[in-house]
Amino acid sequence: MRPFLSHPFDDDKLKEECGIFGVIGVADAANFVALGLHALQHRGQEAGGIVSYDPVEGFNNAKRFGYVRDNFTKADVMATLPGSLAIGHVRYSTAGTKGATAIRDVQPFFGEFAIGGCAIAHNGNLTNAAQLRKELIGRGAIFQSSSDSECIIHLMARSMQKTLSERIKDALRAVEGAFSVVAMTRTKLIGVRDPLGVRPLVLGKIGDGYALSSETCALDIIGAEFVREIAPGEMVVIENGTVTSSHPFAPAKGRFCIFEHVYFSRPDSILGGRSVYETRRQIGVELAREAPVEADLVCPVPDSGTPAAIGFAAESGIPFGMGIIRNQYMGRTFIEPTEQIRNMGVRLKLNVNRALIKGKRVILVDDSVVRGTTSRKIKDMILDAGAAEVHFRIASPPTAWPCFYGVDTPERAKLLAATMSEEEMRDWIGVDSLKFVSLDGLYRAVGEAQGRDPKAPQYCDACFSGQYPVAPSDQIAQGFEMKAAE
């Protein structure tokens, strides 16, 4: 039933928990949503769902575990999703949910209200969901999922507003945290970003219709034209070919997630007017300036380290080469693996290009270090292949704090950088040198020429700085200790 039972090898990356996509005004809208979700698969690989609306067939939905391409490409599935309006969602399911019930947690969620039906899909995380949930249950709400996003539906059900879009505003004003939302009624496609705009959401135009997407790469796949980003705190309602914008929240300065640039988003997406690929390449340039080292080869840890490695090589003049080869047939996961397979770890996914590495001083460029376990294994592989020296260069600052805004992070104690200095990390991983790009270097790479503004940081960088733009109240209630003010 559930194709993804274990993740033995990917525990060393932060994981975006969701991608969202919606389209209105095109025939067979669900097919476009499926394509869009396929392009957003990197934001959530475990399950996907699509809701469509057709005047005759009403609202329909399909939810499946597994890749979009394995489910939402099938004619029999897509035939159940007619209509010219549809939204969808891909998700990475968090550890706590149990097998048998988890399909219920797959979005979009749907509510049949007295004033009509509404489906909603959400990227982000509500930091007061536990409190809201408790309160809603006390008032008679029956929750069907373990997902915090279901709160939004119940808040809408209790709103006294006469239109669904007003009810969405009511509901979202009650929640805290980070959220980008796509929703649909029988006639409207709706998009909203939280006041800080932590998670991305973009608007595209396709024929006479419109699309909303987490990233621009998903507009490309359906041949939609990129119109603009939805602004932090903005709501757009698209109906009959018209886009209406409103601003339901108190005004605030945006704090977009800087880790979207570092790792989450696809390199061919454009965020905040900048190419992600170019930003990553530029991080490599910054790294080469901040942490140069004499070596024979700049080698990316594939595939996410590649743009920064290209930048590092170009800036340093050291040749770029593919010293580590990725097995293209390696899915993320195995079903019921044997013990032996479980123990193979990273070797199933990566192999060293021994002839290239042998005898060389190698600079390995990776995007981030989370637990550090994979870094250690890669170092072992490189040394086994006969490298003379191994230098790690990391295209992000040390990840020392958990994210509460829609990213799956280990508890703080398991983050290598939360418990070790850079030197201790270097020794633990066992390399000749280890350097992270500075927070200012990262800000420069995303285009802030003056680096980070410590008074009013331009981005959410809580995972690096420990400065949370929205106090995570549920987590604090459960004992999480915020960083002491400096």
Q: Is 154 in the site for a second copy (CB under 8 A)?
A: yes
Q: Which stretch of DSSP H or E encloses residue 172?
A: helix 164-174
Nearest CA among 434, 441, 296, 464 for reference residue 365: 434
Quick check: 113 and 55 in contact, CB under 8 A? no
Nearest residue (CB) to a second copy, 289 versus 354: 354
Quick check: 354 and 320 in contact, CB under 8 A? no
Distance of CA 285 to the CA centre of its chain: 24
Shortest distance, position 277 Cβ to a second copy, whole Å: 5
| 217 labelled catalytic | no
- Binders of a second copy among residues 403 to 442 (CB under 8 A) are none
Shortest distance, position 79 Cβ to a second copy, whole Å: 8
Among 131, 163, 353, 467, binds a second copy (CB under 8 A): 353
Shortest distance, position 400 Cβ to a second copy, whole Å: 28
Q: Is 294 in the site for a second copy (CB under 8 A)?
A: no
Among 4, 21, 29, 38, binds a second copy (CB under 8 A): 38
Helix (H, G, I), strand (E, B) or coil at 10: coil
Q: Is 97 in the site for a second copy (CB under 8 A)?
A: no
Binding residues for Mg(2+): 304, 366-367
Q: Is 162 in the site for a second copy (CB under 8 A)?
A: no
Among 10, 55, 80, 246, binds a second copy (CB under 8 A): 80
Report the C-alpha gap between 319 and 172 in whole angstroms. 51
Q: Is 244 in the site for a second copy (CB under 8 A)?
A: no
Report the C-alpha gap between 234 and 238 in whole angstroms. 13
Neighbour-count burial of 455, counting CB atoms closer than 10 A to its CB (0-12 exposed, 13-18 middle, 19+ buried): exposed
Q: Which of these segments, 12-20, 92-100, 175-183, 230-238, binds a second copy (CB under 8 A)?
A: 92-100
Q: Is 42 in the site for a second copy (CB under 8 A)?
A: yes
Shortest distance, position 339 Cβ to a second copy, whole Å: 8
Q: Is 456 in the site for a second copy (CB under 8 A)?
A: no
Q: Is 345 in the site for a second copy (CB under 8 A)?
A: no
Q: Is 365 in the site for a second copy (CB under 8 A)?
A: no
Type of residue numbered 211 = A
Binding residues for [4Fe-4S] cluster: 257, 403, 460, 463
Type of residue numbered 254 = G
Among 2, 347, 371, 414, binds a second copy (CB under 8 A): 347
Binding residues: 257, 304, 366-367, 403, 460, 463
Site map 115..134 versus a second copy, x via CB under 8 A:
-------------------x
Site map 298..337 versus a second copy, x via CB under 8 A:
-----x--xx--x---x----xxxx--x-xxxxx--xxxx
Phi and psi (nearest 5°) for 454?
Answer: -65, -25
Q: Which two tokens stand for residue 479?
A: 């004992």
Q: Is 268 in the site for a second copy (CB under 8 A)?
A: yes
Q: Which two tokens stand for residue 194?
A: 């939280």
Shortest distance, position 232 Cβ to a second copy, whole Å: 22
Among 23, 29, 33, 35, binds a second copy (CB under 8 A): 35
Report the C-alpha gap between 405 and 234 in whole angstroms. 18
**Catalytic pick among 18, 151, 217, 299:** 18
Quick check: 233 and 181 in contact, CB under 8 A? no
| Residues 6 or more apart in contact with residue 135 via CB below 8 angstroms | none
Nearest residue (CB) to a second copy, 174 versus 418: 174
Among 7, 13, 54, 73, binds a second copy (CB under 8 A): 73
Sign of CA dihedral 97, 405, 171, 111: negative
Shortest distance, position 217 Cβ to a second copy, whole Å: 6
Q: Is 137 in the site for a second copy (CB under 8 A)?
A: yes
Q: Which of these segments, 63-71, 359-367, 393-401, 425-433, binds a second copy (CB under 8 A)?
A: 63-71
Q: Which of these segments, 255-263, 265-273, 286-294, 363-371, binds a second copy (CB under 8 A)?
A: 265-273
Report the C-alpha gap between 292 and 219 in whole angstroms. 38
Nearest 5°: the CA angle 470, 193, 370 is: 55
Report the C-alpha gap between 409 and 12 in whole angstroms. 9
**How large is the angle between the packed helices 422-429 and 373-384, nearest 10 degrees?**
50
Give the pairing of strands 85-91 and 18-24. Answer: antiparallel
Nearest residue (CB) to a second copy, 228 versus 483: 228
Give the pairing of strands 209-213 and 225-229. Answer: unpaired
Helix (H, G, I), strand (E, B) or coil at 82: coil
User: What is the residue whose two structure tokens read 């703080």?
Assistant: 412
Q: Is 113 in the site for a second copy (CB under 8 A)?
A: yes
Using omega within 30 degrees of 0 as the cis cutoff, is the peptide bond preceding 268 cis?
Answer: no
Nearest residue (CB) to a second copy, 131 versus 351: 351
Among 7, 158, 186, 289, binds a second copy (CB under 8 A): 158
Q: Is 186 in the site for a second copy (CB under 8 A)?
A: no
Phi and psi (nearest 5°) for 255?
Answer: -140, 70
Shortest distance, position 206 Cβ to a second copy, whole Å: 13
Quick check: 71 and 77 in contact, CB under 8 A? yes
Residues with a known catalytic role: 18
